[in-house]
Amino acid sequence: MGNRVAREDFEWVYTDQPHADRRKEILAKYPEIKSLMGPDPRLKWIVCMMVAIQFLAFYLVKDLDWKWVLFWTYAFGSCINHSMTLAIHEISHNTAFGNNKATWNRYFAMFANLPIGLPYSASFKRYHLDHHRYLGGNGVDVDIPTEFEGWFFCTRLRKFIWIILQPLFYAIRPLCINPKPVTQLEMTNVAFQLTFDLLLYWLWGAKPVVYMLAGSMLGMGLHPISGHFIAEHYMFLKGHETYSYYGSLNLLTFNVGYHNEHHDFPSIPGCRLPMVKKIAAEYYDDLPQYTSWVKVLYDFIMDDTLSPYSRIKRTLKGDVKQE
């Protein structure tokens, strides 16, 4: 567990990200893919159902023994809350109500944020669009780990700890890499969320609050679904910066595993990404792909050539227009 990773820096490249060129090529060959763009009419109802399920769970855990609260937190709450973060990811692309109702999407994301316990939906939207537009961009894409993460988490044991602490680093990283002025929407998100958290504690006590917050932390840490954090862009094969996953956990994660397809067509909702792969199969079938996020986590920890430094990074040219 003490072997050090040989890599001492990110993989710096001097080419543009591959997704824009591939998108143009695919659309030229298959213009019918444009018909897949637009909102997913089912998304808002699925999200409402998930929020209702968690509200019911808050009520049910309030009278359980603590050991059962913790059991259900990891076995159930962590799955729902991680899935909810990916619903917010979908909503950040305006797939709930469409681009013409962007404000509706922002407030609906705050509603979806409630069972997670930590206010982040408004900030996520701002940084996530930068991630798409400037994938791997130095000082802009906060999905890239910090220098400290790459330097310190360089052994198997430390990588294991790093995966457990992923939620912490995702929260801190924007402040270190690309801090932005706080917006009114972000303040509203914080106010809504804190009001809800306090109301939940006042109504049903500490157990639902622990179930909610611990579920979010555990679900985004050492959890099978959290394998997507590593699978999406960590360079398991030299030169490849985006990877898709075609396993069954896509059913719980709004098809976020179709990640090459998503970066090629971010305006297509997750439910239609399998159709993109089917239509333009020759562009995706031969790309590196995964069928197990658990194996991704295991390989990342055990492979001494992989670390938080295993990301492609590029210096951006020209004007950088951030959200």
Structural domain contains residue 280 = yes
pLDDT tens, 43-76? 999 999 999 999 999 999 999 999 999 999 999 9
The mean per-residue pLDDT over the stretch 201-220 comes to: 97
Answer whether residue 267 is part of any domain.
Answer: yes
**pLDDT tens, residue by residue, 96-115:** 999 999 999 999 999 999 99
The count of other CB atoms within 10 Å of the CB of residue 314 is 21
Q: Does residue 318 have a pLDDT over 90? A: no
Average pLDDT over residues 10-22: 95
Q: Answer yes or no: is 320 within a domain.
A: no
Residue 2 has pLDDT above 80, yes or no: no
Distance, in Å, from the CA atom of 162 to the CA atom of 169, rounded to the nearest integer, reads 8
Record the tokens describing residue 58, joined without a space. Answer: 């808050």
> Is 321 part of a structural domain of the chain?
no
Q: Is residue 58 assigned to a domain?
A: yes
CB 255 within 8 A of CB 273: yes
Asked whether residue 1 is domain-assigned, the answer is no
Residue 7: the pLDDT is 82
- Domain holding 150, by residue range, is 11-314
pLDDT at 320: 74
| Per-residue confidence (pLDDT) for residue 287, from 0 to 100 | 96
Strand 312-314 and strand 289-290: the pairing is: unpaired
State residue 1's pLDDT score: 59
Q: Is residue 323 part of a domain?
A: no
How many folded domains does the chain comprise?
A: 1
Residue 289 lies in a domain: yes
